[in-house]
Amino acid sequence: MSIDENLDEELRIFKKVSGLSENDENTLREAVSVILPHIGPLTETFYEQLTAEPKTAEYIEGRVDLLKKTHTQWIEALFSGNYDEAFIESQLRIGRTHVSAKIPPLFVASSMSYLRSAFPKLINQEFSNDEKKAGDISSSVLRVLDLCQYLIDYAYEQDRLKRLTDATGLTRPLLENLIALKAKG
Amino acid sequence: MRADLLNSILSDLNGSSADIEASAVISTDGLMMAAMLPSNMDEDRVGAMGAAMLSLGDRTGQELNRGSLEQILIKGDNGYVIMTHAGKDAVISVLTKPDARLGLIFLDVKRAAEAVSKVL
C-alpha cells in the first residue's frame, strides 16, 4: 500500500541520490549492540542542550521525561535497520506531531544538526580500532537522519500548504501551478 | 472539437468590442483551456493568476458575507481585467483598454461565460 504517490516517488529519488540502501540497514543493524548503551547518555546530553536554550525549553517544559523516552525509542528505531513503509509512516507521524505541537521547524533542524554532529563522534570513539567501519556506520546514520528530517520537513510543508488552501480556497493543483511560475524578469 | 468551440466563443467575444484586447478560458486549477492573448503574454501566468484571483474572490465573498461571487474587476493604468466563472470548473478572463465602456463588455462577458459553461 502506498503512503502517498508523490512521496513514494520522492523517496525513491532520495534513496537513489543519497545512496541509502540495504547496506545501510545491515551496517546499522550490526552496530546497534555497540551503540545501544550510549543512547541514554546521548539523549540526556541532547535534552540538556534543549533546556539550556530558553526558546526550546518552553516547548518541552513539564514533559521532559516523556520526551526523553520517546527520543530514545526513536534513536533505537534508527538503528533497527528496517526502513520500510511502517518506518516512513512513523517518521511522518513524528512530523505531524511536531506540527500540531507548533514546534518551529528551526528546532527540528537544529536538533538534527546536533545529532549529526554527536553520532559520528560517538561512533568514532566506539569503533576507533576500525576506521573504515566507523566511517561506514557514520555515513549510514547520517543518511537515515537526513531521511527522517526530510520526512519531518515534508509534514511541515504539507501542513503549510493545507493551511493556505483552507484559508484561500486555492486548490492544491492551482497552488502548485502558481509555485511553478517562473520569476518574471 | 471542444477547443475549437471555446476559441470560437473567445473570438466572438473579442470581436464584440474594440475595447477588448484579450480573453481566455482557464480551468479552476489555473490551466489554460483556450486563449486569445497577445504574443507577449505568458499563458501559464495568465491562467494561474486568473484562477487564483477568482478563487480568492470566492473566498473573500464568503468570508465577508457578500454571497456568491459574480465577477472580479481589476483596474490598472493600462486597462481592466474582468474575471467571472464559466460554469463550475472554469474561469473566463478578459483584458480591456483603460477607457473601455464596461457596461456593454460585462454583458458580452456574461454571455460568453454562459456559452463556455455549455461547451464544458
Q: How far is CA A3 from CA A8, A107, B86, in A?
A: 7, 26, 36
pLDDT of residue A2: 47
Rounded distance between C-alpha atoms, residue A24 and residue A15, angstroms: 11
Which residues contact residue B79 at a Cβ distance below 8 angstroms, ignoring those fewer than 6 apart? B21, B95, B96, B97, B98, B100
Cα–Cα distances in angstroms (integers) from residue A172 to residues A33, A46, B6, B57, in the given order? 45, 38, 25, 17
Give the closest-approach CA distance of B29 to chain A in angstroms: 4
- Residues B20-29 have pLDDT tens digits of 999 999 999 9
Which CATH superfamily hosts domain B2-119? Answer: Dynein light chain 2a, cytoplasmic (3.30.450.30)
**A174 at the B interface (CB within 8 A)?**
yes
CB-based contact A170 B58, cutoff 8 Å: no
A interface mutation test: which of B40, B43, B44 has the most A CBs within 10 A?
B44
pLDDT by residue (tens digit) across B48-83? 999 999 999 999 999 999 999 999 999 999 999 999
Q: Which three cell numbers stand for residue B113?
A: 461565460
User: Domain spans of chain B?
Assistant: 2-119
A12-16, B10-14, B34-38, B91-95: lowest mean pLDDT where?
A12-16
Asked if B30 and A177 come within 8 Å (Cβ–Cβ), the reply is yes
CB-based contact, A181 to chain B, within 8 Å:
yes
Of A167, A181, A184, which is closest to B48 when you measure between CB atoms? A181
Asked whether residue A185 is assigned to any structural domain, the reply reads no
Residues of A in contact with B45 (CB under 8 A): 181, 184
- Which strands sit side by side in the sheet containing B72-76, from one edge to the other? B32-36, B20-27, B90-96, B79-85, B72-76
User: Do A138 and A123 form a contact (C-beta atoms < 8 A)?
Assistant: yes
Digit-coded pLDDT (tens) for A124-135:
999 999 999 999
Total count of domains within chain A = 1
Choose the most confident range, by mean pLDDT, from A2-11, A81-90, B21-30: B21-30
Average pLDDT, chain A: 89
DSSP H or E stretch at residue B84: strand B79-85
- Condensed to tens digits (0 to 9), the pLDDT of residues A14-69 reads 888 888 888 998 999 989 999 999 999 999 999 999 999 998 899 888 989 999 99
Check CB contact of A169 with chain B, cutoff 8 Å. yes
ipTM of the complex: 0.79
Question: CA B37, CA A23: separation in Å to the nearest integer?
Answer: 56
A7 pLDDT more than 60: yes
Q: What local confidence, expressed as pLDDT, does residue B9 receive?
A: 96
Mutate to test the interface with B, among A178, A179, A184 (most CBs of B within 10 A): A178
Say whether A174 and B55 touch across the interface (CB within 8 A): yes
Mean pLDDT of B84-89: 92
Domain that holds residue A74: 5-180
Is residue A21 a part of any domain in this protein? Answer: yes
Greater pLDDT, B97 or A7: B97
Residue A121 lies in a domain: yes
Whether residue A161 has pLDDT greater than 80: yes
Q: What is the pLDDT of residue B36?
A: 93
Cell numbers at A75, concatenated: 534513536
Which residues of chain B are within 8 Å of residue A173 when distances are taken between CB atoms? Answer: 29-30
CA distances (Å), origin A63, targets A45, A51, A58, B10 = 16, 12, 10, 63
Does the beta-carbon distance from A174 to B30 stay under 8 Å? yes
Residues with Cβ < 8 Å from A78, sequence gap 6 or more? A28, A141, A144, A145, A148
Q: What's the one-letter identity of residue A23?
A: N
Task: Write down the pLDDT at residue A10.
Answer: 83
B120 at interface of A, judged by CB pairs closer than 8 A:
no
b/e map B18-27, b = 16+ CB within 10 Å? ebbbbbbbbb
- Evaluate the CA torsion angle B100, B104, B107, B108 in order and state its sign: negative
Does the pLDDT of residue A185 top 60, yes or no? no
Residues A32, A137: Cα–Cα separation, whole Å: 10
- Cross-chain residue pair A177–B48, CB shorter than 8 Å: yes
Give me the pLDDT at residue A184, please. Answer: 64
pLDDT at A128: 93
Pairwise CA distance, residues B71 & B82, whole Å? 7
Residue of B26, B27, B29, B91 to mutate, testing the A interface (most A Cβ within 10 Å of its Cβ): B29
Q: How far is B44 from chain A (nearest CA, A)?
A: 7
Q: Domain with A155 in it: what CATH number?
A: 1.10.490.10
Strands B72-76, B32-36: pairing is: unpaired
| Residue-by-residue DSSP string for B23-59 | EEEEETTS-EEEEE--TTS-HHHHHHHHHHHHHHHHH
Q: What pLDDT, on the 0 to 100 scale, is given for residue A6?
A: 77
Q: What pLDDT is stored for residue A1 in this prediction?
A: 40
